[in-house]
Amino acid sequence: MISKTRLGFIGAALTLMSVSVCADTLNDWVQEVALTRQDALAIINQQTIEFVFVGQHRGCEQVAALQRGGPQINFEICGQEVRDKHSVAPLWPADDGSRTMLTMVVNHALNQGQFQATDPNGYLIFARRQSAIGACVTLSVNISYAGDLVDRDTRRICH
């Protein structure tokens, strides 16, 4: 028997496979990730690039392209226009207020599936429950500032 959660992963895999046939350039991948709101992994010019959907900022979709050993590129997609923001997000100041907000966002996401909030310093913290197997849950957390990806992590939490 295949659970509803498992079907979601199969659908995401099929979406990724269909995208890989159509998307050839960096901008193509950025547009696809913005459209589907799902992270993706691609090989472009013999380089593996991870594309992360960051969210919306000022009405436009935000995507980060991460390349091992290379710089992070932050993109803004408004309509069909893809723009390299030429920006570097500031480090997340993990002070007490920010850590408290992170803990709250993670706890709400564990209970509700996903949750987001802005910490006292203006950083958006977004957490999403990816999967659950038995007593363990996989949770992804993105921290962004002004639409730029600052940090991300995926953890398996067992209780």
Residue 105 and residue 136 in one domain = yes
Same domain, 8 and 64: yes
Here the tokens at position 74 are 């932050």
CA distance 149 to 129: 19
Asked whether residue 136 falls in the same domain as residue 66, the answer is: no
Number of domains the chain contains: 2
Greatest Cα-to-Cα distance within the chain, rounded to the nearest angstrom: 48
* pLDDT value at residue 81: 95
User: Which among 27, 54, 84 is the end of a domain?
Assistant: 84
Instruction: Please tell me the predicted confidence (pLDDT) of residue 10.
Output: 40
What do you get for the CA distance between the two ends of the chain, in Å? Answer: 25
The tens digit of pLDDT for each residue in 107-134 reads: 999 999 999 999 999 999 999 998 888 8
- Sheet containing 124-133, strands listed edge to edge, beginning at the edge strand earlier in sequence: 114-118, 124-133, 136-145, 148-158
Any domain includes 89: no
Asked if the structure places residue 91 within a domain, the reply is: no
> Does 31 share its domain with 75?
yes
Which residues form the domain of 140?
96-158
Positions of the chain with pLDDT lower than 50, given as ranges? 1-21
pLDDT the model gives residue 8? 42
Q: Is residue 148 included in any domain, yes or no?
A: yes
Same domain? 24 vs 68: yes
Question: What is the model's pLDDT at position 108?
Answer: 96
Percent of the chain's residues with pLDDT above 90? 70
C-alpha dihedral, 137 to 17 to 55 to 117, nearest 10°? -10
- Examine residue 37 and state whether it is found in any structural domain, yes or no: yes
Q: DSSP state, 122?
A: S
What is the pTM for the complete model shown?
Answer: 0.79
Does 90 fall in a domain?
Answer: no
Predicted local distance difference test score (pLDDT) of residue 33: 96
Phi-psi category of residue 135: left, alpha or beta, with phi > 0 → left and psi -120 to 50 → alpha: alpha
Per-residue pLDDT at 96: 92
Q: Quick one: 79 and 100 in the same domain? A: no
Residue 70: per-residue pLDDT: 86
70 located within any domain: yes
